[in-house]
Structure formats: C-alpha cells, structure tokens
Structure 1
C-alpha cells in the first residue's frame, strides 16, 4: 500500500511538472492547445478548430499540426526525465498524410524506447 501511495505521489509530481512547463509555452497558449493526458511516457495535446489555426482552405495549418505533434513527443519523453532537467527539440520530421479537419485535432506522443 505504501509503495502505491509513493508511486501515486511521484506521478502527481510529474504531471504537475509537465503541466507547469506546458503552461509556460507561449505558442501553445497562443494556439489554444491544451494537455488532455499526462502519463509515464505518454502525453496527448488537443487543439480546437478556430480560424486562427487554419490555412486558406479551412484545414488545420500544417504549422499548428506540427507544433502540437512536436510538443506532445517532447513532453512524453519529459515524463521520464529526472526532476531538475528540461527538454528541448533538436530535430524532428513529420509526414502529413491528409489534410486535418474537424472540431479538433489531437497529437499523442508516446515513448517507444527510453
């Protein structure tokens, strides 16, 4: 029982650290993105549709799509980092297979191999 309580406390501290870092990101706030899930090695970010995040044909802009994908991946990794560290993207590649449309889009970052 004590081990589970300690793990729950550690998970809560990680979630708080991730949320606090996310809240400091000006771009995510500007886009209207929000964290919808924070777990060990997994983060989801939701972006509601608004004219400010679309391109000329009404689809989500690739820049907005890429920004939340990059951020979700970084924060998924960050959930596994020790306290007192930080995360910063140095390189990423994205392939967009179809235009993104709808009421919202969601990016899910998942750590495959820590």
Structure 2
C-alpha cells in the first residue's frame, strides 16, 4: 500500500475528536481493510455494564469508512451514506476491535462491512456486524 495513503488515514483518524474521546486507535491498515480498537471505558458502558452499542457502532463505522478510503485516490475522501448494524451479543470484556472491509469498490459508491469483536481474558467474541455504503467526495 502507498505510504502516503497510510499516513493520510492516520492523520484523518487523529483529527476525529470522537475517536479520541473513546480512546480508539488504528491498529492495522491494509488495502481494503482497516482495524480499530477501543477500550470499554467506564464512560462507554450501558445500564447493564456492557459496552454501549454506540461505541460498537462508532468504531465499526470508522473502520469501514477507512477501509473504503484505503482504496481511493489521495484526492478523494469518504462519507457514510448509510450503514446498518446487527448486534449479536453483549459487548463484554476489556476492549472492542472493529475490522472494516471493502466488499465492492466503485467510483460513486463503495459497499463496506465491519465485524466488531469483544475481547476478554484472551478470548474474542463476535458481537456485531455492520454493512453500509460509503460515498467518495473530493478532499
């Protein structure tokens, strides 16, 4: 992958104040695939103590969006046009890891997906699937 594209993703991610608030970080960048992790902090839990679905959705959407960005020319950016989530299990554990992937790249629409896993005591559990559409836009 082009080193400039990797730097662009890191720089863009660093400018997302929401991701900073969540303590999220990019842990892998590849062509068509980006992985983001976030701790399940006390301020990101729901009423039963699990990681909040908002945390799950946020890092899943960002991982999918950056996966889309990884296949675009440097003069383009992306916006989420639509994305849905299926919550499969409670977010139990210490951290979440979202892996975003490009399903079908295109000039006008990019179909993406993300899997979100919760990690606890060395085990990883699939807790959510996201699927959506990203729209390339000029930078």
Whether TM exceeds 0.5 here: the answer is yes
Q: Distance in 2 between matches of 1:27 and 1:89?
A: 15
Match of 1:106 in 2: 97
Following superposition, the deviation at residue 97 of structure 1 comes to 0.8
Q: Which has the larger radius of gyration?
A: 1
Query: Greater RCO between the two (CA within 8 Å, min separation 6)?
Result: 1
Matches of 2:13 and 2:75, distance apart in 1:
15
- State the number of aligned residues: 105
What 5-or-longer segments of structure 2 have no aligned partner? 106-139
- Asked if 1:29 is matched to 2:20, the reply is yes
In the other structure, the counterpart of 1:4 is none
What is the RMSD of the two structures over their aligned residues, measured on CA atoms? Answer: 0.9
Distance in 2 between the 1:33 and 1:20 partners? Answer: 14
Deviations 1:79-100 (A, max 9, x none): 0010121111111100101111
Structure 1: gaps (5+ residues): 1-6
In the TM superposition, what are the counterparts of 1:1-114 in structure 2 within 5 Å? 10=2, 12-114=3-105
Provide the C-alpha distance between the structure 2 equivalents of 1:89 and 1:111, rounded to a whole number of angstroms: 13
Secondary structure, in 3 states, of the residue corresponding to 1:105?
Answer: strand
Distance 2:77 2:101 in 1: 17
